Amino acid sequence: MNFRHHSLLLLSVPLLLSLGCETVPSYLHVGQRLLHFEILVDDQIHLSGLRGVNDNMPIHQMWDVLPDITFEPVDKETKTDAPNQTTLTYQGKVVIRIKHVDDQLDSISTETLTLSRSAETNSWSLNQEEVDRLKHLLNQR
């Protein structure tokens, strides 16, 4: 009798392993998704930044990490003027988009966008007032 229980157990293990993720609910497999935030002006990428988020995070909540993103110029063509410049304002067709790998997850368009320079890192970020304005635009869609 004892042998039967062991053999049943040994036979069930490969079956459970072959089922993989379907045996264990997906919410138990919490991973990270690396998001790529890009700022485009007139269809040209000027600044970009990265941020990891929970793999199960809904797309509309990804905008909540926007204040944590530090943006860097994408190339030497992107001008940020003088080293002592503390703000950078883009006007025209300004788009912020969120990408994961090659997939665009979401984007928002605005006519103006102002970033602030960090004195410590020399990178750019959006202040809370600008983030709140963008969230208001998102809520209007």
pTM for the model: 0.74
Q: Between these two residues, 101 and 79, which has the higher pLDDT value?
A: 101
38-42 contacts at long range (C-beta below 8 A, 24 or more positions apart): 38/74, 38/96, 38/97, 38/99, 39/71, 39/90, 39/94, 39/95, 39/96, 39/113, 39/115, 40/93, 40/94, 40/95, 40/96, 40/97, 41/90, 41/92, 41/93, 41/94, 41/95, 42/92, 42/93
Read off the pLDDT band of 118 (50, 70, 90). Answer: confident
pLDDT at 93: 97
pLDDT at 108: 96
